[in-house]
Chain A
């Protein structure tokens, strides 16, 4: 038994490939058997992943989900930013250049609109919960943009660590909701072509949420959504601590 653990711990990334393979196999089986394929296998797999992340997080108190358990640390590497970005770029192989260009303007508009809309909603919620300090309201609003814009804004404005933690939690809630709800609402919002996928990426902005949500909806749309989503956090870090903070301060 110790020998097995030694081998598993010395080959964490390889173990992760096997575990994820089993999860995906199980997910497609569940999808076919219980939903007749109506709920996409990859959507089931992502939900199983999130449940495992929750189990890992509550067991260890860490911030990397199941990857905080040593045996599963390879999942952290496999699902980390490095391989994720590598695979996202690979999905761009064979995209229709003309489609991408055609949706360019709508894509740009959606990034700016997306940052502002998410910020306003987040800031309004903070206000409704009784916050009146412009720094706190802006930081929580920034968290609703993405869980990276939240702490970046909080650091720039000097927000307390409790407020920064809240903003990160808001961003995580957004990201997880986008991952799980996208396949369900795709039909309703016309998310079935490259143009709307680019607008979707720009409006939602959370790279993990957008790419996972599109993967579970239609993998062909992934590169279009990812293209705009990768600009979102940068634009958010630009607008929120500057212009949007000044607007909030002027209003209070």
Chain B
């Protein structure tokens, strides 16, 4: 049943957001700490527990893959409701701060990506360069 997959997805999101909210309270910040990430871990966990197998296979899986496929349309809607005009109103200072943060962060990606498994990352990079 499709609803089983959808229900599992909902349960994971609600549980994850709740844990993130509690984590935020515990460390004393007014923000949800990793709620969506934790929800995703719960879903991955559920997929690997035999007991929950029936929730993530057959028609039930369709309830999850549908929302996964709706992801890009939802992102397009999200873009359409951003406060773009507000960003423009911030003037040069806001723009410079935002652009500067992005440029420096981009530059750090190749450096930090090397932590852990340098050879594999390098191989994959080389592989894709060939495709281009």
Taking beta carbons and an 8 Å cutoff, which residues of A are in contact with B? 16-17, 20-21, 23-24, 42, 45-54, 56-58, 61, 63-67, 72, 75-76, 78-80, 83-95, 97, 100, 102-106, 109-110, 113-114, 117-118, 121-122, 124-126, 129, 140-141, 143-145, 148-149, 152, 155, 165-166, 168-179, 181, 185, 187, 189-193, 195-196, 199-200, 202-204, 207-208, 211-212, 215, 219, 222-223, 226-228, 230-231, 233-238
- The reply to whether B72 and A42 contact each other, CB–CB distance below 8 Å, is yes
How distant is A176 from chain B, measured CB to nearest CB, in Å?
A: 6
Report A-chain residues with C-beta under 8 Å of the C-beta of B65. Answer: 90, 93
How distant is A121 from chain B, measured CB to nearest CB, in Å?
A: 4
Number of B residues, CB within 8 Å of A? 86
How distant is A110 from chain B, measured CB to nearest CB, in Å?
A: 5
- The reply to whether B67 and A90 contact each other, CB–CB distance below 8 Å, is yes
In whole angstroms, what is the CA distance A93 to B17 when docked?
17
In whole angstroms, what is the CA distance A204 to B109 when docked?
9
In whole angstroms, what is the CA distance A147 to B79 when docked?
15
Q: Is B2 an interface residue when CB atoms closer than 8 A count as contact?
A: no
Main SS of chain B's interface residues?
Answer: helix
Say whether, besides A49-B79, A234-B34, A237-B30, A172 and B9 are in contact (CB < 8 Å). no
- Closest chain A residue to B24, Cβ basis: A234
- The reply to whether A65 and B115 contact each other, CB–CB distance below 8 Å, is no
- The reply to whether A174 and B102 contact each other, CB–CB distance below 8 Å, is yes
Contact of A172 among B43, B87, B114 (CB under 8 A): B87
In whole angstroms, what is the CA distance A233 to B35 when docked?
11
Q: Mask for B88-130, Cβ within 8 A of A = 1, else 0?
A: 1111011111111110111111101111110011001100110
In whole angstroms, what is the CA distance A144 to B96 when docked?
9
- The reply to whether A152 and B31 contact each other, CB–CB distance below 8 Å, is yes
- The reply to whether B40 and A234 contact each other, CB–CB distance below 8 Å, is no
In whole angstroms, what is the CA distance A87 to B66 when docked?
9
- The reply to whether B94 and A114 contact each other, CB–CB distance below 8 Å, is no
Say whether, besides A113-B112, A121-B97, A204-B105, A192 and B124 are in contact (CB < 8 Å). yes
Contact of A49 among B9, B77, B109 (CB under 8 A): B77
Q: Is B49 an interface residue when CB atoms closer than 8 A count as contact?
A: no
Report B-chain residues with C-beta under 8 Å of the C-beta of A144. Answer: 97-98, 100-101
How distant is A178 from chain B, measured CB to nearest CB, in Å?
A: 6
- The reply to whether B87 and A169 contact each other, CB–CB distance below 8 Å, is yes
In whole angstroms, what is the CA distance A191 to B113 when docked?
9
Indicate the member of B35, B80, B117 with the most A CB atoms within 10 Å. B80
How distant is B95 from chain A, measured CB to nearest CB, in Å?
A: 5
How distant is B81 from chain A, measured CB to nearest CB, in Å?
A: 4
